[in-house]
């Protein structure tokens, strides 16, 4: 199944979770299946993606550091969304319900994410594995 992942690209060109930091932070690689941190998975939290490019583009986290990148990805089967957690507490390994319990529109939870490489014949594609917004 295809989805869109919003990531942060650092100065070294590495892809990271766009919101999660600390213990919850995940590093992503093109063509590599990435799973959530084990402590999150045990508590019913996995990885989050958007069902369309439009929803990914509209997502604008206020606490994001670095350049926003939207990547097309292959993902595992959809899972029900859990209660939304406070991202500050999450970075410390704690799951505390967010004051804003609504997930961004188009959010989906999946057990794994594999970023797709940009295809040579899609030079002018709007979304790729390295598209900065």
Is residue 35 within 8 Å of residue 112, measured between CB atoms? yes
d(CA 39, CA 23): 9
pLDDT in tens, the chain (133 residues): 999 999 988 889 899 998 888 888 899 999 999 999 998 898 889 999 999 999 999 987 765 666 789 999 999 999 999 888 776 666 666 677 776 778 899 999 999 999 999 764 333 334 444 444 4
Give Dmax over CA atoms of the chain in angstroms. 45
Reported in sequence order, the residue ranges of 42-115 that DSSP labels E, i.e. its strands, are: 47-50, 67-75, 107-110, 113-115
Helices vs. strands in the chain: H and E counts, helices first: 3, 9
Residue (of 118, 116, 51) closest to 78 by Cα position: 51
Outline where 6-86 has alpha helix (H).
38-42, 53-58
Which pTM was predicted? 0.81
Token pair, residue 83, equals 């209660």
Taking the mean position of all CA atoms in its chain, how far away is CA 59? 11
């Amino acid at each position: 199944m295809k989805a869109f992942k919003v990531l942060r690209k650092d100065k070294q060109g590495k892809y990271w979770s766009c919101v999660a930091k600390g213990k919850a932070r995940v590093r992503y690689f093109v063509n590599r299946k990435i799973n959530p941190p084990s402590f999150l998975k045990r508590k019913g939290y996995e990885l989050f993606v958007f069902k369309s490019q439009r929803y990914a583009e509209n997502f604008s986290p206020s606490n994001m550091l670095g350049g926003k990148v939207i990547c097309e990805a292959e993902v595992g089967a959809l899972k029900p969304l859990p209660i939304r957690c406070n991202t500050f507490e999450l970075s410390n390994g704690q799951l505390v319900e967010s004051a804003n319990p609504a997930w961004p529109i188009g959010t989906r939870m999946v057990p794994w994410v594999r970023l797709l490489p940009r295809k040579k014949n899609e030079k002018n594609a709007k979304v790729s594995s390295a598209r900065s917004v």
